[in-house]
Each structure stands twice: as structure tokens, then as C-alpha cells.
Amino acid sequence: MTNDPTSSYRLRLPGPTAVPERVRQAMAGPIVSHRGPEFKEVMTDTAELMQPILGTSNQVLLFGSSGTGVMEASLANVLGEGDKALVLSNGQFGERFLSIAENLGLAADAIEAAWGQTVSPDAVAYRLEGSDYRAVVAVHNESSTGAVADLAALGAVVGATPAVLVVDSVSGLGGIEMRQDDWGVDVVVSASQKALMCPPGLGLASVSDKAWKVIEDNGKRGRFYWDFLRARDAAAKGQTAFTTPVSMVVALREALRMIHEEGLPEVLARHRRVATGLRAGGAALGLPLFTKAPMISNTVTVFATPDGLDGTEVVRHLYEHYGTVIGGARNQLKGKVLRIGTMGGCVETDIREDLLYLERTLEDLGWPVERGAGVGAAEEALLQA
């Protein structure tokens, strides 16, 4: 439980997520020079602790940024004006990648899948045949729908071509498995405020050798702050190119220490367990899962609201009456989904409380529920998970 137990405010969004006390305390230390020896140790520790979570031996690049910043950076480094990218779009963040590509003047094509589904790796293979795409761009964990991309399969498809695979794992990394090197993911970008249990403000990128060659040969580099080559030079010295958000890196190191103390496999198993429990509990309350993809997220649970129940009202009521902040949608799914984070420090008691307040909310709104059914079903699922 990472929310303050003395507060009635429960942050249960799929990001930003509640930050553990230990991480918040770590951030409160004095600021040191971002070019001095004291901080160099923090940077090198952080990069080392990050690598197993990414499943990589790549240098890890850090930026003061939200997730979208490093999404943009990944495209701006690998591609230049007029270069062709193939964007897999099955939700809000795939659409965001498309908008970024458009704004950077790239020639982006989309392969779309229905929201809640994923683009099939076979469709990607078909589109890549005889094409000159420089990059295939995908979202690992589509937070708007709860669909998880099969990165192992995509990596195998893209790896057989000159294109590089660029992946947003902002809401996946640290909560669901990522094996960047084994799977052949060329660029992974992520951010601090989701499963990594930190406040918003830090973005990260991890770049494969194949992608570094593409970046080095990219004659159309139109970037400055986001220059991965400059970031790589700085990272080799335990620094960032520009002023480091020092407290944020201290926070990330502490959060990563917590992940490794618990054990990465145990952390991933906990995410699986709480997500399984929440899904079962929601189903018992009459909230079916929105997600239809073969792989379903363990970091964000997306329920479809049944006809006649306005999701926006459920979100508002949970907040106003039960201090519980969950996500709805501000896109084409507005009013139709409830999105709850099961990532970061989320534990079983969090989802029990979620289900209790969800049940009360549904009852308050005049929706028929069987009292205790949600928590009961969750307990059954947790015992088996």
C-alpha cells in the first residue's frame, strides 16, 4: 500500500501512481551538483538497477521529461523529415505516436486494430515485405484499453528487416515483463510515474546497437535537448547532457532498490496477482473486461461499463464519496470504461478497497449489485493466482 494510510485520498490511476513513503523520503535530501562525484554514483547505480528491468545491457539514458517527451525523442532520433515509419495503433497512445510523427514531418503509415485488440505481428510482417520503413513503432501496454503487444513476436518480425522496433513501455516497464535484448526491441522509452513508483518527471530510453547505427547515420537530425548521441556521451560519464532532475533520479534509485529487494520475478507476479483479483472482482460486480487482446495488461485494468451506466459518473462518485481516484477516458471511450492502475506499489488490500468502494458506488448510483460479491470473487481468484 503506497497511499498515505492517514489520508482519505486514494490515488488509483493507471499513472501517476502512489509513491511509496521510502521513495518520497529519499527525495527529500539536499541537492548536490549533477556533475559531482556524489551524484555520479547515484546515476551509475540507477542505470545498473534499471538494466535487469529492461532486460538489457544497453546504456540507460535519462531525461527530465514526461513519457510523451521520450516518445517524441525516440522518433526524432531514429527518423528525419520524410522518413517512413510504420505505427501500430490500437488506442490513445498509438494515436499519440502518429500525431508526433506527423508533427515531426515524418511519413508515417498506420496499421490499426480495434481499441482493445492488438495489431497482429503477421500483419506487420506483410506490410514490411518489400517496404522501406526505417522504423516500426508500437505501444507495449496500451493504457487506454489494457491491451499488451506481443513484443517477442514483433521483435522477431522487425529483426529480420533493416527497420528498427521502437516501443513505448511507459505503463508496462516494471510491472509486466520486458526482455529488450532477447526480444530484439531496439528502442524502449518509459517514464517514472507508472510501475516505477516515482513521481512524474523522469523519462528514460534504452537503445540497441542496431538503433545506434541508424541514429549515427541519420543525416536529418533535427533535435537538440533530445539528442540521444549527446545523451550517450553524458551517460558514459554518469551524467545527463543538461541539468539533471537530481531528486528524481534519487527517487528512481530508491524505487529500483525496492523492486530488487522484493525481487523482479516476485514484483511481476504481484502485478499478475492483483490484476487477476481485480478483474475477477469487477466481473462479479457486473463489470466486464473491456480488453479483447490475446495478452491482457497486469498494470492497468480496463472495465467496460454496461449500457445505462455512465463511466464518468462512476469515476466522479468514487472520488467525491470514497476519495478514490481512478481513470475514465477522455477519448472515443469517454463514459464507456473505468481504468484502474494495478501497478507500482499496488498490493492486495488496495484492490479489495477498490472493489468495496466500486460496489458502494454502483449501489449508490442505483445499479444492482450483490453485496460482497466483488471482494468475494477477488479472494477466490487471489487464492488461486
Ligand X SMILES: *Cc1c(COP(=O)(O)O)cnc(C)c1O
Name the residues that contact ligand X, by CB under 6 A.
15, 66-68, 93, 139, 141, 143, 168, 170-171, 191
Residue nearer to ligand X on the CB measure, 60 or 100: 100
Please state the closest distance from residue 151 (CB atom) to ligand X, in A: 13
Instruction: Give phi and psi for 264, each to the nearest 5.
Output: -60, -45
Residues with Cβ < 8 Å from 377, sequence gap 6 or more? 280, 281, 283, 284
Please state the closest distance from residue 166 (CB atom) to ligand X, in A: 12
Measured CA to CA, the distance from residue 48 to residue 305 in angstroms comes to 42
Residue nearer to ligand X on the CB measure, 141 or 361: 141
Please state the closest distance from residue 246 (CB atom) to ligand X, in A: 20
Residue nearer to ligand X on the CB measure, 194 or 279: 194
In this structure, the number of other CB atoms found within 10 A of the CB of residue 305 comes to 24
Measured CA to CA, the distance from residue 110 to residue 80 in angstroms comes to 17
Residue nearer to ligand X on the CB measure, 141 or 305: 141
Residue nearer to ligand X on the CB measure, 280 or 333: 333
Task: Find where cell 513505448 sits.
Answer: 168
Q: Is residue 50 classed exposed, middle or buried when 0-12, 13-18 and 19+ CB atoms within 10 A define those classes? A: buried
Please state the closest distance from residue 75 (CB atom) to ligand X, in A: 13
In this structure, the number of other CB atoms found within 10 A of the CB of residue 319 comes to 17
**What residue is closest to ligand X based on CB?**
67
Please state the closest distance from residue 38 (CB atom) to ligand X, in A: 28
